[in-house]
């Protein structure tokens, strides 16, 4: 057991993954803006669930829990579904801010807390993989996920000579989350967050033993 840090844990994949780690006996630090959505879970795990309210784009001066980072799961995401002609600078700032800049800055801030064999798992999308089928309206989202995929590879290269840290990414297909429903009302995805969370748990706790600096597609459909 150890300490896992999870962003975007108030709903969807992040919430399901938080529940899975807690059920397996881990200590969990959740980083989210919607802390009230975790009140009930905190009552169930008062000693092992640590809730930190923050905005990933405003980390300066934030007091983080004095706990180590065995695993960091960068799960927070923002999906913009608009044609190119309608995408604003604010849309781009939102997409890249949450999907790229946030994870980048958080990793940077947490480096001093990394344990000897810390594992960073970036939650990405198959839409960000070169050669995958792309969808109209997702230029901001898919390009941002492409950036986090490359960042994963870059960070592994940067740290692999002097540390035992591992950086990997899971490029997910469609999962039935609130974020998906907001962007694609009525779309039925083949997976629920609760079906995916055991896989994310297994990957986060064991994949660093056999792979580093890799982007793994995880999908039952396209995207």
Residue 188 lies in a domain: yes
pLDDT in the model for residue 128: 66
Residue 98 lies in a domain: yes
Residue 193 lies in a domain: yes
Residue 31 lies in a domain: yes
The DSSP call for residue 25 is: T
How far apart, in whole angstroms, are the C-alpha atoms of residue 76 and residue 61? 20
Higher pLDDT, 119 or 127: 119
Q: pLDDT tens digits for 18-46?
A: 999 999 999 999 999 888 889 889 999 99
First to last CA, the chain: 34
Phi, psi of 73 (to 5 degrees): -110, 105
Q: Is residue 203 predicted with pLDDT exceeding 90?
A: yes
Residue 79 lies in a domain: yes
pLDDT in the model for residue 191: 62
Closest CA to 33 of 4, 61, 62, 66: 62
Q: Is residue 182 predicted with pLDDT exceeding 60?
A: no
Query: Is the bond preceding residue 83 a cis peptide, omega within 30 degrees?
Result: no
How would residue 57 be classed by pLDDT, with cut points 50, 70 and 90? Answer: confident
Q: Which residue matches tokens 């993954």?
A: 17
Q: pLDDT tens digits for 123-155?
A: 998 776 776 666 777 889 889 999 999 999 999
Residue 129 lies in a domain: yes
**DSSP-based three-state secondary structure for 19:** helix
The residue segments making up the domain with residue 212 are 3-218
How large is the average pLDDT for residues 47-56? 92
Residue 126 lies in a domain: yes
Which CATH number is 158's domain given? 3.40.50.720
Question: Which residues does 189 contact at the CB level (< 8 Å), separation at least 6?
Answer: 173, 174, 175, 176, 177, 180, 221
Q: How many domains does the chain divide into? A: 1
Residue 223 lies in a domain: no
User: Does pTM surpass 0.85?
Assistant: yes
């Amino acid at each position: 057991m150890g300490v896992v840090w999870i962003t975007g844990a108030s709903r969807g994949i992040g919430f399901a993954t938080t529940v899975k780690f807690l059920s397996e006996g881990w200590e969990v630090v959740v980083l989210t803006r919607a802390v009230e959505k975790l009140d009930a879970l905190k009552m169930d795990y008062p000693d092992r669930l640590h809730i930190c309210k923050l905005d990933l784009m405003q980390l300066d001066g934030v007091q983080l829990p004095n706990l180590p980072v065995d695993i960091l799961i960068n799960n927070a995401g923002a999906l913009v579904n608009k044609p190119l002609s309608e995408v604003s600078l604010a849309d781009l700032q939102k997409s890249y801010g949450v999907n790229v800049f946030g994870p980048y800055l958080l990793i940077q801030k947490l480096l001093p807390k990394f344990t000897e064999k810390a594992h960073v798992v970036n939650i990405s999308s198959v839409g960000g993989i070169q050669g995958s089928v792309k969808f109209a309206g997702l230029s901001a989202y898919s390009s941002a996920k492409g950036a986090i995929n490359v960042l994963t590879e870059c960070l592994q290269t940067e740290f692999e000579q002097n540390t035992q840290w591992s950086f990997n990414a899971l490029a997910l297909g469609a999962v039935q989350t609130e974020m998906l429903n907001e962007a694609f009302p009525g779309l039925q995805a083949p997976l629920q967050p609760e079906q995916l969370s055991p896989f994310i748990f297994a990957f986060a706790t064991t994949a660093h033993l056999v792979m580093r600096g890799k982007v793994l597609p995880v999908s039952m459909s396209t995207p």
